[in-house]
Amino acid sequence: MKLVIRGSKPLFPSLAVCLSTCFSVGSHLQAQTPSAPTVPNLSAVVPMGAVKQNPLIYGRDGTYSAVIDGESYWAFNDTSMRADNVDGHNFISNTLAWTDSLNASNGIYLNHDHLDKTGVPIEYMPFLPAEEQFNYTHDPNHCTATPASTCGEDYAIWPGPIVPIPGTSAAYQFYGKVFRGGDIQGFQVVGTGIAIELGGKITRPVESPGTPEPTLMWQGDQVAYGGGWLVEDGLLYAVGCQGGFLVENCRIARVPILQVLIANAWRYYAGGDTWSSDPNAAITVFQGGAAGNSIFYDKALHQYIAIYSGIYNNNVYYRAANHPWGPWSAETLLFVGQQGESGTANYAALAHPEFEEDSGLTEYVTYVQTTGFLQQAIQLVKVTFQKKE
């Protein structure tokens, strides 16, 4: 994922390969149980300090990661830097970093970044030509937009989960498109799409033809399934959450891994043994966390584990299930993170199973801690579970 091409094109024809020969993932699905399991007990929780990064980085968040070609790649959202990049910006909407070491016992060092020719991090997610032109004309450094109150508005691309496609050299990159700046309070969610990475190039394919945003799978107020993932038996399971009052109501959908970019191939869990093509039929399977969730199968525990941040607090929680769709156990405290600057709450707690030890008895979890204006630290915590008899 070191090269980028900008723009959109139809679905990749090279991915139309035989499903029966593409998968190396094993099956862990268990017989359905009528009630949720208990969560595994904890043996130790050890803070490991902040993830080490490029010294030019002042702050970044997001933190979804995945293994590609033996290296752990991390996708970040808004990134502030101590130097301007080649575009003259020190605050950009996404960056990419990675490490060539999967041993986290002494911490994690993201020793590579997607850089411009001057050696400063630059956005790796592609903008469409119209988005790029809009951002340029509304850039406050040389704004030519009218009215002047729209100067500073821009489109941001916030990356989410990176999903390697088993048996291929390609990967999916979930992302959100938002509109913000100028007189806009906060930001407006435009929708969520799924990019494709192949041969070091990233493209945003057409996924919803004939709509206002054809490259976005879910648009406007539709529930977007880009908040956590796992691959099982040739199916991608993805988490989609909808905010309520101090809560995130999370649902789950699945799709054959090679049909992820086809909207009508997705099925939404509707309870019991029912999967529906109607996204409105989806039910809440658990209440998740602030800025994403991580779900994964833990081989040592023989369970699926969900890990996420509390809403407007520093708690990190976990749940367990026998199936990706549940039933999930009650929310249980995993640990309490360090307090952020000026009483700010931590967010974006995610597990990184590629660093696991002893088949998952030990897992590594990060969360984002605000340490100043546009400044964040990514704190790392080592979590060891008790082995089941």
pLDDT, one tens digit per residue, over 17-49 is 332 333 333 334 444 445 899 999 999 999 999
Q: What is the pTM of this model?
A: 0.90
Query: Quick one: pLDDT at residue 244?
Result: 78
Enumerate residues 6+ apart whose C-beta is below 8 A from 130. none
Is 256 contained in some domain? yes
Range of the domain at 68: 37-385
Place of tokens 């400044």: 375
Quick check: 16 pLDDT over 60?
no
Dist CA 67 CA 52 (whole Å)? 18
Enumerate residues 6+ apart whose C-beta is below 8 A from 20. none
- Token pair of 63 as six digits: 């933190």
Is 23 contained in some domain? no
Query: Quick one: pLDDT at residue 283?
Result: 97
Mean per-residue pLDDT, 82-92:
94
Is 22 contained in some domain? no
Dist CA 337 CA 81 (whole Å)? 24
Query: Quick one: pLDDT at residue 183?
Result: 86
Place of tokens 């996708």: 75
Peptide bond into 10 cis (omega under 30): no
**Is-contact 226 160, C-beta < 8 A?**
yes
Query: Quick one: pLDDT at residue 246?
Result: 80
Quick check: 5 pLDDT over 60?
no
* Burial track 60-95 (b if 16+ CB lie within 10 A, e otherwise): bbbbbbbbbeebbbbbbbbbbbeeebeeebbebbbb
Number of domains the chain is built from: 1
Dist CA 332 CA 329 (whole Å)? 8
Is 268 contained in some domain? yes
Enumerate residues 6+ apart whose C-beta is below 8 A from 329. 36, 37, 38, 39, 319, 320, 321
Residues 142-168: tens digit of each pLDDT: 999 999 999 999 999 999 999 999 999
Is 11 contained in some domain? no
Compute and round to an integer the Cα radius of gyration of the chain. 20
Is 204 contained in some domain? yes
* Burial track 263-287 (b if 16+ CB lie within 10 A, e otherwise): beebbbbbeeeebbeebeebbbbbb
Enumerate residues 6+ apart whose C-beta is below 8 A from 203. 5, 7, 8, 9, 12, 126, 195, 196
CATH number of the domain bearing residue 365: 2.115.10.20
What region does 181 belong to: left with phi over 0, alpha with psi -120 to 50, or beta?
left
Is 7 contained in some domain? no
Can you give the length of the chain in residues? 389
The residue among 257, 251, 293 whose CA lies nearest residue 274 is 251
Quick check: 3 pLDDT over 80?
no
Is 18 contained in some domain? no
Query: Quick one: pLDDT at residue 15?
Result: 36
Mean per-residue pLDDT, 354-371:
97
Order of strands across the sheet with 42-50? Answer: 42-50, 375-385, 362-372, 347-351
